[in-house]
């Protein structure tokens, strides 16, 4: 089941540099593991903004929630969730 | 080059039913042709809304513009365009 | 799986009274059938507004979408969908 | 008498961890006591957000206000209150 | 129990003058009857706007809703409802 | 002459508790003195919010301004002022 | 007593040209009479918009309201009223 | 050439009192000098707000900009600029 | 003197096609004449929107206003004006 | 390929003056180098605001993004990107 998620990141200026670097490294590893599993199907950067549009393919709302609150950057993010589905004009068989 | 586009459709109530049906049929054909060509890479429906999120892969802003203003439903749409790029945390080689 | 939906209804002033009555009757029947099935778990009226907050319990986003676009009043509604889940402080075993 | 309440929580980053934990524990106990009493009828989490939608069943506005300002997290919350009532299309006898 | 209500009136330009006059006369009578009963405690005009702030004193949300949807101008109004209560700094014994 | 005022209070978290208590005590005394004089005609609390709706009856804009900037909590408030007048549907002789 | 008023004008496209011309002529005469009386102290056009900022000097809110609802264009205007007063840094004796 | 400017002032709470007093004194002197020169034609206070509406009469955009960024309070202000001109209904020969 | 202008065009659906074509032809000629004169320095289309960003170089606010209200499409446009000036980091001698 | 970018700058008050000066000097040099290269085609200041409108001419979204995130002031900016193209009414051969 698909969800469109916009994440805007705001790192506080007084976060120590090494702490920020450590969180960002964990964030990247966390994201890549979920991408590899197929649950985080796409991630794109918005040009000129510290933000991404992502597509998640999860079992249900609960799994989506657990993935999002588990983000190492979660407390520094503003998140917008939109449930999606296959569009009737899509030429594909599935929702990809 | 990637763009994220949100399209919200508002069909006027006084549009004759056959005219609406004809426009919708042309819209679907137009979209599917562009999907087949690879320029309209994804299209998803927003649950409960007459709207879609789409990803376009075009040569430049001009090509994107020509595709969007050529939509048979263009005059009944509100459109928001966001330029995208490959995210540094993506596990893929390209911007897919 | 739960979704919170806000529906705001705007009946156009030039809709003939009998047509409006017929649509409203179908809307009520449609809603009550879904309530009886358990898919439309709650519906409450907002005091002083032609609007409701509803809770849906559906299989997935697609089922929610089909229910919402099937509403006889759909074309006269503005709809906002929010995916929900059981709250960790809830005293209930399930998501009710 | 029913009220729909949306609560968005913003814990300040400089709140000491033990103080935060203590407040959250009190918040949970406070909420569960009110749920057990029947006054806090429902609480659901919004997927991906540190927020909930709740339904309160109270005697009047004053009781609602006292419950909300008594929340241990009250000073870290943004709260929106909407008075509700039984919907005329509901299949239930009462406002549940 | 008190509610603060803001009502903004938008009379459509194509409403026949006699129909408008008839609705406005009924609106005034309806309002004055409720004022006399004590349920519509205050009504003030906003300077320069076709709008009012009103204070209602009703039994519960349901009574408020029935009063508001019964307004002859209801379908031409935008309405915002805010539940109120006695302020702790008030010098009065009651909520007046 | 009447004014409707909405006041939203935001006490900074780092204000020392005794300083906050002292300001709140002065605020209450200040408000009650003005209520007793008849200039601050009504004050109601918004359910669930640290905010009030008030009605002032003052000589002119200048007197209103001086009262508001004299509030001990003024620097912690967001204030919205709306000039009011007797509504033509009011059943009262005056603007009460 | 001073008020700042912003007026945005929206003439409906289907208003017959002669009716529009007649209303605009009455609007101009009405405005100029009030300017001559000193009650409508200033009127300026916003560059590129069908809108004005005006300063009114009136006895009270009621007089302001009567002037504004008496505007021949009133029903085609959106109006925002802000009460003003002499600024403490003004070099003038009065509020001009 | 005329400009309408709205200035909202937000003095940070941790600005030392003497520093604030010194800035406010400079602000007042700066404003009064420009008023005396005729460039800052009007300044009015908004009732109940730490804000003013001002009218500037300057040679061009550059002069306006230099005046505004030269305000001692500039870094604590939010500023909105609107270009103005003589209104066709004005009874005056010039743009006053 | 420079101004940045955003123009959003909304052609009403019931405007006869030949009337629309005639207005659009006049709009193009009007714009090109002003571009040739140097007063309309730039015009760019926003990708996917019926809108443009333009830069005007005019004598003063009044000339800008006369140009904008003289646009054949003026009554179908929403217009936002922002006064500009040479940026201190510009590498050019003038404001181009 | 053209992009319109609005940049609003917010320098934190507690940034040491020498650090701010050093960042601003780097920002200016960075901007002027890109202007000289032709990629940052225009930069204009908004009158009265710490903000600019810029036009970039870049190869693609990725190059735009790299330029923007490389701005020494990037972390103190709010940025809005709008893709542009030659307007059909332009009198120029190219998109200048």
Give the pLDDT confidence score for residue B79 in this predicted structure: 98
Interface check for E48 against chain G (CB to CB < 8 A): the answer is yes
Strand partners, A85: B45
Among all residues of chain I, which has the CA nearest to that of G11? I75
Give the pLDDT confidence score for residue J67 in this predicted structure: 98
CB-CB under 8 Å, B45 with C81:
no
Over residues G19-77, the pLDDT tens digits come to 999 999 999 999 999 999 999 999 999 999 999 999 999 999 999 999 999 999 999 99
Query: What token pair was written down for C36?
Result: 């009886």
Alpha carbons F25 and F22: distance in angstroms, whole number: 5
Query: What token pair was written down for F4?
Result: 């409707």
* Mean pLDDT over each residue of chain B, to the nearest integer: 97
Nearest C-alpha of chain C: how many angstroms from E61? 6
DSSP G36: H
Alpha carbons B20 and A45: distance in angstroms, whole number: 36
Q: Residue C95 in contact with residue C14, Cβ under 8 Å?
A: no
Give the pLDDT confidence score for residue B9 in this predicted structure: 98
How many CA atoms are closer than 13 Å to the CA of F47, on its beta-carbon side? Answer: 25
Give the pLDDT confidence score for residue H32 in this predicted structure: 98
Q: Which pLDDT band, with edges at 50, 70 and 90, does E45 fall under?
A: very high
Interface check for H5 against chain I (CB to CB < 8 A): the answer is no
Tell which residue, A77, C4, A84, has the closest CA to residue D45. C4
Over residues C28-61, the pLDDT tens digits come to 999 999 999 999 999 999 999 999 999 999 999 9
Q: Residue F78 in contact with residue F29, Cβ under 8 Å?
A: no
Give the pLDDT confidence score for residue D42 in this predicted structure: 98
Pairing of the two strands F77-86 and F2-9: antiparallel
Interface check for F70 against chain E (CB to CB < 8 A): the answer is no
* Chain centre to alpha carbon of residue C34: 9
User: Per-domain residue ranges for chain D?
Assistant: 2-83
Say what percent of chain H tops pLDDT 90.
Answer: 100
Nearest C-alpha of chain H: how many angstroms from I65? 8
Strand segments, DSSP code E, in G1-96 are: 2-9, 40-46, 51-57, 77-86
Give the pLDDT confidence score for residue E73 in this predicted structure: 98
Over residues H8-51, the pLDDT tens digits come to 999 999 999 999 999 999 999 999 999 999 999 999 999 999 99
Nearest Cβ partner for C49 among E12, E75, E79: E79
* Mean pLDDT over each residue of chain I, to the nearest integer: 97
Longest Cα–Cα distance of chain H, Å, equals 49
Contacts of C3 in chain A (CB under 8 A): 61, 83
Contacts of E47 in chain G (CB under 8 A): 3, 61-62, 64-65, 68, 81
Alpha carbons G61 and F81: distance in angstroms, whole number: 13
Mean pLDDT of I48-53: 98
Superfamily for domain range E2-83: Dimeric alpha+beta barrel (3.30.70.1060)
Over residues J50-86, the pLDDT tens digits come to 999 999 999 999 999 999 999 999 999 999 999 999 9
Whether I and H touch (3+ CB pairs < 8 Å), yes or no: yes
Q: Answer positive or negative: Cα dihedral of E74, E77, E81, E85.
A: negative
Nearest C-alpha of chain F: how many angstroms from E21? 14
Nearest Cβ partner for E83 among D81, D85, D86: D81
Q: Which pLDDT band, with edges at 50, 70 and 90, does D76 fall under?
A: very high
Among all residues of chain H, which has the CA nearest to that of J46? H65
Give the pLDDT confidence score for residue C77 in this predicted structure: 97
Which of F47, F51, F52 has the highest number of chain D CBs within 10 A, making it the mutation to test binding with D?
F47
Calculate ∠ Cα H69-H71-H72, nearest 5°. 120
Interface check for B37 against chain A (CB to CB < 8 A): the answer is no
For chain I, helix (H) and strand (E) counts, in that order, are 2, 4
Q: Provide the H-helix boundaries in F4-96.
A: 17-37, 61-69
Model ipTM?
A: 0.96
Give the pLDDT confidence score for residue C3 in this predicted structure: 98
Query: What token pair was written down for H49?
Result: 């707000």
Mean pLDDT of D2-8: 98
Q: Please list the ranges in chain F whose pLDDT falls under 50.
A: none
Interface check for A10 against chain D (CB to CB < 8 A): the answer is no
Strand partners, I39: none
Tell which residue, I46, I83, I31, has the closest CA to residue I61. I83
Phi, psi for residue I66 in degrees, rounded to 5:
-65, -40
Mean pLDDT of J11-31: 97
Which of C79, C83, C84 has the highest number of chain B CBs within 10 A, making it the mutation to test binding with B?
C79
The residues, any chain, with a CB within 8 Å of residue H21's CB and separated by 6 or more, are: none
Among all residues of chain F, which has the CA nearest to that of D7? F48
**Burial class of residue A19 in the structure, from the number of CB atoms within 10 Å of its CB (0-12 exposed, 13-18 middle, 19+ buried):** exposed
Contacts of C45 in chain E (CB under 8 A): 65
Give the pLDDT confidence score for residue H30 in this predicted structure: 98
Pairing of the two strands E77-86 and F40-46: antiparallel
Interface check for B5 against chain I (CB to CB < 8 A): the answer is yes
Topology given in CATH for the domain delimited by C2-84: Alpha-Beta Plaits (3.30.70)
Nearest Cβ partner for D44 among C2, C45, C46: C2
Q: Residue C7 in contact with residue C82, Cβ under 8 Å?
A: no
CB-CB under 8 Å, E28 with F89:
yes
Interface check for F10 against chain D (CB to CB < 8 A): the answer is no
Over residues B43-58, the pLDDT tens digits come to 999 999 999 999 999 9
Alpha carbons C43 and D91: distance in angstroms, whole number: 9
Q: Residue H46 in contact with residue G6, Cβ under 8 Å?
A: no
Q: Which pLDDT band, with edges at 50, 70 and 90, does D54 fall under?
A: very high
Q: Of all helices (H) and strands (E), which one includes residue D81? A: strand D77-86
* Mean pLDDT over each residue of chain D, to the nearest integer: 97
Contacts of G48 in chain I (CB under 8 A): 5, 64-65, 68-69, 79, 81
Interface check for F93 against chain D (CB to CB < 8 A): the answer is no
Give the pLDDT confidence score for residue J19 in this predicted structure: 97
For chain C, helix (H) and strand (E) counts, in that order, are 2, 4
Interface check for F87 against chain D (CB to CB < 8 A): the answer is no
Tell which residue, G26, E61, G54, has the closest CA to residue H42. G54
Span I2-50+59-83 CATH architecture: 2-Layer Sandwich (3.30)
Give the pLDDT confidence score for residue G25 in this predicted structure: 98
CB-CB under 8 Å, H81 with J47:
yes
Interface check for E28 against chain F (CB to CB < 8 A): the answer is yes
Tell which residue, E86, E91, E76, E96, has the closest CA to residue E9. E76
Strand segments, DSSP code E, in chain H are: 2-9, 40-46, 51-57, 77-86
Q: Provide the H-helix boundaries in A4-44.
A: 17-37
Over residues A55-75, the pLDDT tens digits come to 999 999 999 999 999 999 999
Q: Of all helices (H) and strands (E), which one includes residue B87? A: none
DSSP D2: E
Helix, strand, or coil here: F3? strand
Interface check for E82 against chain F (CB to CB < 8 A): the answer is yes
List the subunits that have 3+ CB pairs under 8 angstroms with I. Answer: B, G, H, J
Q: How far is CA A5 from CA A61, A74, A77, B57, D75, in A?
A: 12, 13, 12, 20, 28
Nearest Cβ partner for E65 among D60, D65, D85: D85
Q: Residue A40 in contact with residue A56, Cβ under 8 Å?
A: yes
Give the pLDDT confidence score for residue D64 in this predicted structure: 98
Alpha carbons A27 and C45: distance in angstroms, whole number: 42
């Amino acid at each position: 089941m698909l969800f469109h998620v916009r994440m805007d990141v705001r790192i506080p200026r007084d976060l120590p540099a090494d702490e920020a670097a450590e969180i960002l490294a964990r964030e990247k590893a966390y994201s890549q593991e979920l991408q590899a599993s197929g649950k985080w199907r796409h991630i794109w950067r918005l040009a000129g903004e510290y933000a991404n549009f992502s597509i998640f393919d999860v079992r249900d709302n609960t799994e989506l929630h657990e993935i999002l609150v588990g983000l190492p950057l979660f407390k520094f993010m503003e998140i917008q969730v939109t449930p999606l589905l296959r569009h009737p004009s899509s030429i594909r068989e599935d929702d990809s």
